[in-house]
Amino acid sequence: MKTTDLARVRATLWAAADELRANSKLTPGQYRDPVLGLVFLAYAESRFEAVRGEVEAGASARNPVTIADYKAKSVLYVPDEARLSSLVDLPEGEDVGKATDQAIKSIEEANPELKDILPRGYQKLERSTLIELLRLFAPLPTQLEGDAFGFIYEDFLSNFAAQEGRGAESTSRRTPSSASSLRS
Which pTM does this prediction carry? Answer: 0.78
pLDDT single digits (tens) 166-183? 764 443 333 333 333 333
Mean pLDDT across 147-169:
76
Lowest-confidence segment of 17-26, 52-61, 106-115, 124-133 by average pLDDT? 17-26
Chain centroid offset of residue 163 CA: 18
CA distance 131 to 94: 11
Per-residue pLDDT, 107 = 96
Alpha carbon separation from 136 to 88, 109, 132 (Å, rounded): 10, 26, 6
- Residue 74: which region, alpha, beta or left (left: phi > 0; alpha: psi -120 to 50)? left
Per-residue pLDDT, 143 = 77
Is residue 147's pLDDT more than 50?
yes
Per-residue pLDDT, 167 = 62
Domain limits of the chain?
8-49+77-161
Mean pLDDT of all residues belonging to the chain: 82
CA distance 16 to 19: 5
Helices (H), the chain: 3-22, 28-57, 67-71, 84-88, 96-110, 127-137, 140-143, 147-174, 176-183
Per-residue pLDDT, 14 = 81
DSSP state of 106: H
Per-residue pLDDT, 4 = 52
